[in-house]
Amino acid sequence: MSESTEPTGLTDLTAVRLLDGYRRGEFGPVAVTRAALERAEAVQPEVNAFVRLFAEEALERAAASEERWRRGEPRGLLDGVPVTVKDILLLRGAPTLRGSRSVDPAGRWDEDAPSVARLREHGAVFLGKTTTPEFGWKGVTDSPLSGVTRNPHDPARTAGGSSGGAAAAVALGAGPLALGTDGGGSVRIPAAFCGIFALKPTYGRVPLYPASAFGTLAHVGPMTRDAADAALLMDVIGGPDSRDWSALAPAPGSFREGLDGGVRGLRVAYSPSLGGQVAVEPEVAAAVRRTVERLAALGAYVEETDPDLTDPVDAFHTLWFAGAARVVQHLTRERRELLDPGLREICGEGARRSALDYLAAVDVRMDLGRRMGLFHDTHDLLVTPALPRTAFEAGVEVPKGSGHRRWTGWTPFTYPFNLTQQPAASVPVGTDAAGLPIGVQLVGARHADALVLRAAHALFGSGAAEAVRPPGITPAGS
């Protein structure tokens, strides 16, 4: 990568800033798209964030957008803004292989996922599809199909997962907006490792089709540089879609409205280790504490307290492993041999669990949801580390020497809130001594997505949060 320079290039601008530039005539979608594509192509060999780029199609869409802006007739809220789509979500005209050699590329591929359809309607420019582990099954991003996705801040380390390619793309300036999916932390984990912002919305707030085999654990969410861009993206992708029978009614207003309301008077619960259940690296713990202190300085009422929960990992595993088994149920024995060995292993475990095991896990989930509902009667927000550590070596499911068997061993702060379906964000709040990003998690009650975005926006506005720029990145298009 080239030597670092000041962040003055087009690839360093947020979507909000790009749209303002389009309105003022400072630059156009073609130059912005070309710069984003150049950045994507430059970093791809080292980081491996993409499974495919759409250079020709992207520039065609950008040219059409530029003409609309010239006429003063932009289409929707994101006209001409480059976006990427995780290769779990359907995008019309391109194979969605989900990181798997078991998926036939010669499909029809004639549908958009709901969130992708909304982006298309609003004039967004699709740069490419981003990497995922096979069927999004784990918290790091590597697969037999597309290889290992690496951390922009240190390519020897993982970008996290399962939306690792999306996080790396945003961090590196290959598009300011990305669509990810999150079934156990899959937008928040890579956001924390790569130094960007991500929101797992309340389940159903963003429609999903086809339905995930992981059921109501799976959410679609925005991955961006800051909360303002995420709010803008939520205003687009939260639009209704009749194909998702479990989708919520449209949000009562714009997520961009009220972003500047601040945190004064909010009741914030600060749980540094979920009641001592989690060992957190000292530099991570210190960064989270500084963030909480900033919330207090901004007028929030902060109390160090823990939610009433014990680690629900066994219940999560039952639901997750059964979902994985369902994903591959149709495959022949020969096709299963193509799978990631770790995925093949959990599929076997999932197939051995009974319907009664599954329903017992649902009972644990419902009780956890009840307890978190009661917790939020007295606390508007819960603040925890997003992860107990910074990024570890690439190409492994768990850190070497950690003693963990599965990725859930090092993600204890994320997957509980997929069980409860609550909105949760990872906010970038600095780096450790090695320059690796640290994330803070903000969790709200179900349907309190706007509040989570508002609190995150306050942290960005105060300087307590900022996307972490990778070293050695020269702005394209400057």
Catalytic residue among 186, 212, 271, 426: 186
Contact 181, 199 (CB under 8 A): no
DSSP state of 215: G
Q: What is the pLDDT of residue 6?
A: 31
State how far the alpha carbon of 239 is from the alpha carbons of 87, 235, 254, 257, 447, in Å. Answer: 21, 7, 11, 16, 15
- Model confidence at 1: pLDDT above 90: no
Q: What is the pLDDT of residue 474?
A: 54
Phi, psi of 192 (to 5 degrees): -65, -40
> For residue 2, is it within any domain?
no
- Model confidence at 260: pLDDT above 90: yes
Catalytic residue among 115, 143, 146, 162: 162
State how far the alpha carbon of 86 is from the alpha carbons of 94, 185, 210, 247, 373, in Å. Answer: 12, 15, 14, 20, 31
Q: How confident is the model at residue 5 (pLDDT cuts 50, 70, 90)?
A: very low
> For residue 252, is it within any domain?
yes
> For residue 473, is it within any domain?
no
Give the structural domain span for 25: 10-462
Q: How confident is the model at residue 134 (pLDDT cuts 50, 70, 90)?
A: very high
Q: What is the pLDDT of residue 2?
A: 37
Q: From CA 144, how far away is CA 304, in angstroms rounded?
A: 44
Q: How many domains does the chain contain in total?
A: 1
Q: What is the pLDDT of residue 233?
A: 98
Amino acid identity for residue 471 in this structure:
P
Catalytic residue among 86, 129, 138, 200: 86
Contact 317, 409 (CB under 8 A): no
> For residue 478, is it within any domain?
no
Q: What is the pLDDT of residue 57?
A: 98
Q: How confident is the model at residue 416 (pLDDT cuts 50, 70, 90)?
A: very high
Q: From CA 188, how far away is CA 197, in angstroms rounded?
A: 8
Q: What is the mean pLDDT of residues 103-109?
A: 93
Q: What is the pLDDT of residue 472?
A: 76
What are the tokens at 208? 């999903």
Task: Identify the three-state secondary structure at position 443.
Answer: strand
> For residue 169, is it within any domain?
yes
Q: How confident is the model at residue 65 (pLDDT cuts 50, 70, 90)?
A: very high
Expressed in angstroms, the distance from the first to the final Cα of the chain is: 16
> In this structure, are strands 219-224 and 177-182 parallel, antiparallel, or unpaired?
antiparallel
What CATH code is carried by the domain that includes residue 180? 3.90.1300.10
Q: What's the pLDDT tens digit per position in 206-247? A: 999 999 989 999 999 999 999 999 999 999 999 999 999 999
In the predicted model, what is the mean pLDDT of the chain?
Answer: 96
> For residue 281, is it within any domain?
yes
Strand partners of residue 441: 384, 426
Q: What's the pLDDT tens digit per position in 12-28? A: 999 999 999 999 999 99
Q: What is the pLDDT of residue 61?
A: 98
- Model confidence at 407: pLDDT above 90: yes
Q: Is 186 a catalytic residue?
A: yes
Q: What's the pLDDT tens digit per position in 279-331? A: 999 999 999 999 999 999 999 999 999 999 999 999 999 999 999 999 999 99
> For residue 477, is it within any domain?
no
Q: What is the pLDDT of residue 364?
A: 98
Phi, psi of 238 (to 5 degrees): -80, 5
Q: Is 400 a catalytic residue?
A: no
Q: Is 129 a catalytic residue?
A: no
Q: From CA 337, how far away is CA 323, in angstroms rounded?
A: 19
Percent of the chain predicted with pLDDT > 90:
96
Amino acid identity for residue 38 in this structure:
E
Q: What's the pLDDT tens digit per position in 81-102? A: 999 999 999 999 999 999 999 9
Q: What is the pLDDT of residue 282?
A: 98
What's the CA angle centered on 211, arms 238 and 231, to 5 degrees? 20
- Model confidence at 7: pLDDT above 80: no
Q: Which of 145-149, 345-349, 468-472 has the lowest mean pLDDT?
A: 468-472
More confident residue, 193 or 252: 193
> For residue 474, is it within any domain?
no
Q: What's the pLDDT tens digit per position in 420-465? A: 999 999 999 999 999 999 999 999 999 999 999 999 999 999 999 9
Q: What is the mean pLDDT of residues 6-13?
A: 75
Q: What is the pLDDT of residue 444?
A: 98
Q: Which residue has the tokens 């639901």?
A: 319
Listing DSSP states for 131-165 in one string gives: P-SGGG-SSS-EETTTEE-EETTEEEEE--SSSHH
Q: What is the mean pLDDT of residues 261-270?
A: 98
Per-residue burial over 215-236, b if 16 or more Cβ lie within 10 Å, else e, is bbbbbbbbbbbbbbbbbbbbbb
Q: What is the pLDDT of residue 473?
A: 62
Whose CA is closest to 208, among 130, 116, 292? 116
Amino acid identity for residue 362 in this structure:
V
Q: What is the pLDDT of residue 4?
A: 34
Q: What is the pLDDT of residue 107?
A: 86
